[in-house]
A and B are shown apart, each in its own frame.
Chain A
Amino acid sequence: MENKKLVGKDLILTGALTALMFVIYMIISIAMSLAGPVTNVFYPPVVSVANGIVMMLLLAKVPKCGALSIAGVIQGLLTFLMGAFWTVGTGLIVGALLADFLIIGRREISTKKMIAAYSVFSGIFTFGAISPMNIFRDAFMDLTLRNGVSKEYVDGLIRMTEWPMLTIIIIAGFVGGFIGALIGLKVLKKHFVKAGLVQG
């Protein structure tokens, strides 16, 4: 019977891969926020696609309930440190915990569950990252303006997060997670299983 508790080896791997995921997240979010308000609002789906590979590797090596939660919670806490709006970290933490406990649960893990869990996680993260531009619009824009960002950029952000566009962005979040998980699994099969690092 497989051991369901998180052993030291699992925790170390989780820590290392979370570090990698966070670095990827920072690079992509800074790069996309530079390019203008249009790409800025789409950074969560792109981050999810990129981190899909890392997360699928983590879930393949640590197929236990808790790996996704720890990765998400640590990344969420780190975004608080980096000074993003409070909903980003909250979205990450809530998304990770929900995806883990509801979908992965305590039973056997399967690839379908991995894909579903990661899509949910990515969707909630996108919601947490982008919706304050609409829901808490005044507080968010006020903070961004006071930080010295130019007015045209803020106007561009406001235009991009009107309600129809916002639903598209949130759906893109789920789709991004789905695509990221699929790409991740494909890459896993192609490289890691062949190299013998992960069992098929």
Chain B
Amino acid sequence: MSESVREKIMAVSFHGTARLDPRIKLFMLIVLGCISFFINGDIPELMLMLAITAFACAGSAPGWGIRMLVVYLVISYLNTCLKYISVPGISLLMGIFGVTVLKMIPIVTMARWVLKSTYMDELTVALERAGMPRAVIIPFVVMFRYIPTLGIEYRMIRNTMKIRGVSDTIFKALIHPFATIEYILIPLLMRCLKVSDELAASGTTRGMERENKRYCLSETGFGLGEYVTAALFVVYMVVLVILDRSSIGQYVFWRQG
């Protein structure tokens, strides 16, 4: 009887690479962000994206990984089309848009995977072990926890606007910035205050204010898996950068006639 209760408590909803120490995941995310903007060749970029998809799939988020890979391939194809077929007005606009979006996709994929696959208490413990002061950990963790909530609040506000018959298209929102501020930003801010008051109360209940060392239920720490992943990752990044500088990086992926 006690075994099954223990199992239920210790059960986590994801496995595989998602169980790595959060510091490793954050480190990979940061290095990824830097490298992604330095790699320009088509082939290294694709290798980067494939590696990230493989990682996400191994970390119990296969649907997300594969969807982003498909989006990446589609946008990469469209970008190459744009380079060869030059439509005067749209080219300039979509050119930089396409490039920015393409660079963002690996980062966004990895970031969302890290967010979804990390429990907040593991993250707090890991950051604390990394020696960061409390004044940095708490805003950081709250930010990660709050960004999905922002999306939910925004949708609710838009629904309310629809009910009340206020202008609710994105186009109108951009054209009338003051209306946007008045109707969207201010309710968002009020909800934000409410949410953070509740978060603060919940955090105090959980003993956030104490200065002692923290523990969490599942094991986090640097083990063999972490070292191996870190080493492989660094090697892979170095390989990508070298490839990018060499001639393989110049190869354009989709050949247009």
Bound form: Cα–Cα A19–B33 in Å: 18
Name the one of B38, B96, B138, B196 contacting A153, with C-beta atoms under 8 angstroms: B96
Of A19, A74, A195, the contact of B147 (CB 8 Å cutoff): A19
On whether A187 and B181 interact (CB within 8 A), knowing A12-B196, A15-B146, A147-B103, the answer reads: yes
**B150 close to chain A: CB less than 8 A:** yes
8 Å CB contact of B107 from A20, A54, A66, A81? A81
Q: A1-40 interface mask toward B, CB cutoff 8 Å, 1 = contact, 0 = none? A: 0000011110111111111101100000011011110000
Task: Report whether over half of chain B's contact residues are helix, strand or loop; otherwise say mixed.
Answer: helix
Question: Chain A 174-200 against B: per-residue CB contact (8 Å), 1 yes, 0 no?
Answer: 000000000000010001100101000
Q: Is the CB of A83 within 8 A of B107?
A: yes
CB neighbours of A16 from chain B (8 A) = 142-143, 146, 192, 195-196, 199
**Known A83-B107, A147-B40: A15·B150 in contact at CB below 8 Å:** no
B203 to chain A, nearest CB (A): 6
A61 interface contact, C-beta 8 A? yes
Contact indicator B139/A150 (Cβ below 8 Å):
no
Known: A53-B189, A148-B99. A81 touches B29 (CB 8 A): yes
> Within the assembled complex, what's the spacing in Å between the Cα atoms of A192 and B189?
10
B97 & A34 in contact (Cβ 8 Å cutoff): yes
Q: Interface stretch among B61-69, B87-95, B227-235? A: B87-95
| A168 on interface, CB distance cutoff 8 Å | no
Min CB distance A140 to B, Å, is 12
Residue B193 is within 8 A (CB to CB) of chain A in the complex: yes
- Inter-chain contact B209/A148, CB cutoff 8 Å: no
Judge whether B30 is part of the interface by a CB distance below 8 angstroms: yes
- Is B204 an interface residue, CB under 8 A from the partner? yes
B188 adjacent to A6 (CB under 8 Å): no
Residue of A23, A33, A74 near B96 (CB, 8 A) is A33
Of B38, B107, B208, which one neighbours A82 at CB under 8 angstroms? B107
A8 to B135 CA separation, bound complex (whole angstroms) = 8
- What count of chain B residues pass the 8 Å CB interface test? 51
Contacts of B40 in A (CB 8 A): 146-148
Question: Is there contact, CB below 8 Å, between B136 and A191?
Answer: no
CB–CB A61/B92 < 8 A: no
User: Which of A11, A83, A146 sits near B139, CB closer than 8 Å?
Assistant: A11
- Interface contact B95-A150, CB-CB below 8 Å: yes
A15 contacts B34, CB within 8 Å? no
Chain B residue with the shortest CB-CB distance to A148: B99
CB contacts (< 8 Å) of B139 on chain A: these are: 11-12, 14-15, 18, 70, 74
Q: A81-B29, A147-B40 are in contact. Are A34 and B208 (CB under 8 A)?
A: no
Query: Are the C-beta atoms of A15 and B141 separated by less than 8 Å?
Result: yes
Chain B 16-40 interface mask (CB, 8 Å, partner A; 1/0): 0000000000000110011011101
What are 24 contact pairs spanning A and B, CB under 8 A?
Answer: A8-B209, A11-B138, A12-B142, A15-B143, A15-B196, A16-B142, A16-B143, A16-B146, A16-B199, A19-B143, A30-B100, A34-B93, A35-B93, A36-B93, A53-B181, A53-B189, A54-B185, A57-B189, A143-B37, A147-B37, A147-B99, A149-B95, A152-B92, A197-B190
In order of increasing CB-CB distance, the 4 nearest A-B pairs are A15-B142, A15-B139, A83-B37, A11-B138
Q: Which residues of A contact B (CB under 8 A)?
A: 6-9, 11-20, 22-23, 30-31, 33-36, 50, 53-54, 57, 61, 66, 70, 74, 80-83, 143, 146-150, 152-153, 187, 191-192, 195, 197
Given contacts A12-B196, A153-B92, 18 further A-B contacts (CB under 8 A): A13-B196, A14-B139, A15-B142, A16-B192, A18-B143, A20-B192, A57-B189, A61-B193, A70-B136, A80-B34, A83-B37, A83-B103, A83-B107, A143-B37, A148-B83, A148-B95, A187-B181, A197-B190
